[in-house]
Amino acid sequence: MSDIGNKKTFALDDDHVMVVIGSGAGGGTLAAELAKKGIDVVVLEAGKLTPRTEFLPDEWASFTQLAWLDKRTTSGTWRVAKDFPGLPAWICKTVGGTSVHWAGAALRIQPHEFKARTTYGNLPGANLLDWPVTREELDPYYTRAEDKMGVTRTHGMPGLPGNNNFKVMYGGATKLGYKECSTGHMAINSTFRDGRNHCFQRGFCFQGCRYGAKWSTLYTEIPQGQATGHMELRPECHVSRIEHDKTGKVTAVLYYDASGHLQRQKARAVSVAGNSIETPRLLLLSESSKFPDGLANSSGQVGRNYLRHTTASVYATFDHQVDMFKGTTMAGIISDESRFDPSRGFVGGFHMETISLGLAFYSSFLNPGAWGKEFAEAMDGYSRTAGMWIVGEDMPQESNRITLNHDVKDQFGLPVANVHFDDHPNDTAMRDYGFERGEAVYRAVGARKTYRVPPYPSTHNLGTCRMSEKPSDGVCNSYGQAHDVPNLFISDGSQFTTGAAENPTLTIVTLALRQADHIAAQMHKGAI
Amino acid sequence: MQSHPLPDPVLATPEAGPAPAAPIAATRRGVLKATGLLTGTLALSSVLASLAPSRSWALDLKGLSSHQGAVILAFSRHLYPHPHLEDAVYALVVKELDGKAAATPATKKTLADGVARLDHVGSGDWLKRGAALQEIDVAAMEGTPFFTLVRSTAVVALYNNDMAFAHFGYGGKKGNDGYLYKGFNDLKWLPNPPAAASGPIPKG
């Protein structure tokens, strides 16, 4: 166990510790922040500890190494349910969570997006709500998060150098008159900083950053937390239930350890940060006579309003070499379309961000299920191909939700999560518009052929335990504190009230910093 | 229709490891108890020559007959037609399916049934049928368990190996150390974006 890096371990019956479930951007950051404040924390992570020296420059092998492959099921009209029925999400089961896999885009949610209901109005079928927190309140925490993560174009960090894929995007964006196109705000070191190397442009961002240039809790927050002597990391510990006492306060968590034995860790407070599918699943699994619809679910909103961003990709082939794989995956961002402008036929906005896939993933995701001459021709053009990802705000809908599928069990005999998703008409309108704009960008610099690529399994999973002003509208308050259970916290993207048009990790970290201050203050007051 | 939560080879080989290796070189054959054999020769001009131990290649089959292997190879060529891509790469699809056939009787039957059906429409030997008719036969099989199995295996096996990477121009693990000082931003047909939109190359 020594190579896990713990300086301190805690007893199972030690009820003064805070238990954090999940070690990704939310859980890993929260745990480290609490430990730095002297609060004792036990981090339970379902995945293994994989040091970055063991990351693999091989897409499928890496996927098998890092991805969450426990059983899940899908339903709804989204194409992922047809193409990848057992893989609704492309997220990680490893120490560091999906912060190992993310591409590094670190964008602040825009002020008007925190007021989605006020700004967008009453959209039929959309369960829109304003966040109970404003951009102004979060700005100091955003600043801290950017400093901590080393976000380019903040705190004196230069931008990353543009690669070939970016050069194509920039050329097209400029010809279309877009004004906001650059190598973006990325939590990837452009210079040596904070003990971490600069980016060497490997092009394996999704497979884990071997140089540690991209921020991940795996090699930043987690070892920092352990170094305080106030944090214990327990990998391969899969939490199955959160227990509570007669008053409704949580008291312990049950988990299966690495050898499959059921353990009970007592707790003063619990944070759930298992990403937006496992987090609501765990609350639903923790139903009791006091909480018959699931823990902290008096609103009925646990698992609902599942958001995955309105996504799509556009790839285009050119007459000449592009080699999109040379360098960072998300090498450039166009932000002009992220504005609020309903004249385009939809509310909310989107970003266009370069994306590149290696040959193996390109063949699997370009048009799942496709075959024949047209597909082969697209593959023949691989080295002359540029690519972008469209990432925009999708509308919260109550019917898009995570539920327990009692017909399918996981390796512990627990019902798996079913992920149901249908596009809202606003999502479809935005995606169609995004396709057109993306194709226009590439045609402006001579694209020979463009390809509209359907959404991949979701990496941005949000909204399933959303924060709300009123307890009847959501699961937690603006600090991620459950409305129903004062010593239970939601610390991942589940707490997002709406999805906004920005990649979520920076905001997850920002909320975790704010939550840590709140928890420390509550503990100081003796409230929890 | 079979449903594949993940592309089949990923589930079938949980250890995954490196990309499928080139078919076994002819000189290294002999240990395995084979049910069939596929052989071929790389073209003299092939970019793959440097990746193979010899220009001749051979694949011992453990679950399929030589004929079944050859039919599946030809079928894969119609599924993903790349006229200049060597048979040695398509043989990796056969290799993957052969492994599944050897491990799972149901899979072996699915493959045998599919080949038998093709041979039936091909008056005994589908390989003797003209390419245009073969193409029609392949399309007619869509939706069958055979087609689904071969296609979902082929789309991974065909494109996830060093020979395919070399053929289609993907760097693969050659990028492991990073392109920053070797080949980064080497696209010449568009101007460099201004410094404000990009960033400096860090000093080595």
Query: Can you give the three-state secondary structure of chain B, one letter per residue?
Result: CCCCCCCHHHHHCCCCCCCCCCCCEHHHCCCCCCCEEEEEECCCCCCCHHHCCCCEEEEEECCCCHHHHHHHHHHHHHHCCCCCCCHHHHHHHHHHHHHHHHHCHHHHHHHHHHHHHHHHHCCCCHHHCCHHHHHHHHHHCCCCHHHHHHHHHHHHHCCCCHHHHHHHCCCHHHHCCCCCCCCCCCCCCCCCCCHHHCCCCCCC
What is the arithmetic mean of pLDDT over A476-487?
98
Please report the pLDDT score of residue B23 as a whole number.
53
B115 in A contact zone (CB under 8 Å): no
Q: Closest to A325 (Cβ–Cβ): which among B5, B9, B175?
A: B175
Please report the pLDDT score of residue B51 as a whole number.
76
Pairwise CB contact (< 8 Å): A200 & B200: no
Residue B18 lies in a domain: no
pLDDT in tens, B53-70: 778 999 999 999 999 999
Residue B49 lies in a domain: yes
Chain A residues within an 8 Å CB radius of B90: none
Chain A residues within an 8 Å CB radius of B181: 200
pTM: 0.95
Question: A496 — phi, psi (to 5°)?
Answer: -60, 130
Nearest 10 degrees: Cα torsion A313, A318, A322, A324 = 10
Q: Closest to B193 (Cβ–Cβ): which among A87, A170, A321?
A: A170
Pairwise CB contact (< 8 Å): A57 & B175: yes
Q: Is the pLDDT of residue A480 over 80?
A: yes
Residue B193 lies in a domain: no
B150 in A contact zone (CB under 8 Å): no
Six-digit token pair at A118? 């006020």
| Average pLDDT for chain B | 86
Burial class of residue A367 (count of CB atoms within 10 Å of its CB; 0-12, 13-18, 19+): middle
Q: Give me the total of CB pairs closer than 8 Å, taking one residue from chain A and one from chain B.
A: 190
What is the arithmetic mean of pLDDT over A437-462?
97
Q: How many domains does chain B have?
A: 1
pLDDT in tens, A265-309: 999 999 999 999 999 999 999 999 999 999 999 999 999 999 999
Report d(CA A82, CA A65) in Å as an integer. Answer: 24
Chain B residues within an 8 Å CB radius of A210: 176
Six-digit token pair at A326? 């040379």
Q: Is the pLDDT of residue A518 over 60?
A: yes
Residue B82 lies in a domain: yes
B10 in A contact zone (CB under 8 Å): yes
pLDDT in tens, A204-223: 999 999 999 999 999 999 99
Q: Is the pLDDT of residue B13 over 50?
A: no
Q: Closest to A158 (Cβ–Cβ): which among B15, B81, B199?
A: B199
Q: Which of B156, B182, B187, B201 should we substitute to test contact with A (largest number of A Cβ atoms within 10 Å)?
A: B187
Question: B186 — phi, psi (to 5°)?
Answer: -100, 15
Q: Is the pLDDT of residue B19 over 50?
A: no
Residue B168 lies in a domain: yes
Pairwise CB contact (< 8 Å): B168 & A162: no
Could you list the residue range(s) of the whole structural domain that residue B33 is in? Answer: 28-172
Chain A residues within an 8 Å CB radius of B151: 369, 371
Report d(CA B116, CA B95) in Å as an integer. Answer: 19
B204 confidence band (pLDDT: 50, 70, 90): low
Q: What is the DSSP string of A43-82?
A: EE-SSB---GGG--S-HHHHHHHHB--S--EEESSSTHHH
Q: Is the pLDDT of residue B10 over 50?
A: no
> At A352, is the secondary structure helix, strand, or coil?
strand
B26 confidence band (pLDDT: 50, 70, 90): very low
Chain A residues within an 8 Å CB radius of B172: 57-58, 358-359
Pairwise CB contact (< 8 Å): B197 & A181: yes
Burial class of residue B124 (count of CB atoms within 10 Å of its CB; 0-12, 13-18, 19+): exposed
Please report the pLDDT score of residue A1 as a whole number.
43
Please report the pLDDT score of residue B43 as a whole number.
84
pLDDT in tens, A300-353: 999 999 999 999 999 999 999 999 999 999 999 999 999 999 999 999 999 999
Return the residue of A nearest to B139 by Cα: A372
Instruction: Tell me the ipTM for this assembly.
Output: 0.95
A259: which DSSP letter?
T
Please report the pLDDT score of residue B49 as a whole number.
77
A450: which DSSP letter?
E
Contacts of A446 (CB under 8 A, 6+ apart): A318, A319
What is the arithmetic mean of pLDDT over A402-420?
98
Report d(CA A497, CA A518) in Å as an integer. Answer: 19
Report d(CA A386, CA A415) in Å as an integer. Answer: 41
pLDDT in tens, A484-504: 999 999 999 999 999 999 999
Question: B175 — phi, psi (to 5°)?
Answer: -85, 5
pLDDT in tens, B132-160: 999 999 999 999 999 999 999 999 999 99
Residue B74 lies in a domain: yes
Return the residue of A nearest to B16 by Cα: A61
Chain B, window 41-70: residues with a beta carbon less than 8 angstroms from a chain A beta carbon: none
Return the residue of A nearest to B165 by Cα: A359
Helix residue ranges per DSSP H, A132-217: 135-149, 164-175
Q: Is the pLDDT of residue B74 over 80?
A: yes
What is the arithmetic mean of pLDDT over B95-114?
98
Q: Closest to A445 (Cβ–Cβ): which among B164, B190, B192?
A: B190
Residue B98 lies in a domain: yes
Pairwise CB contact (< 8 Å): B170 & A359: yes
Please report the pLDDT score of residue A142 as a whole number.
98
B32 confidence band (pLDDT: 50, 70, 90): low
Give just the sign of the alpha carbon dihedral A379, A380, A383, A386: negative
Please report the pLDDT score of residue B54 as a whole number.
78
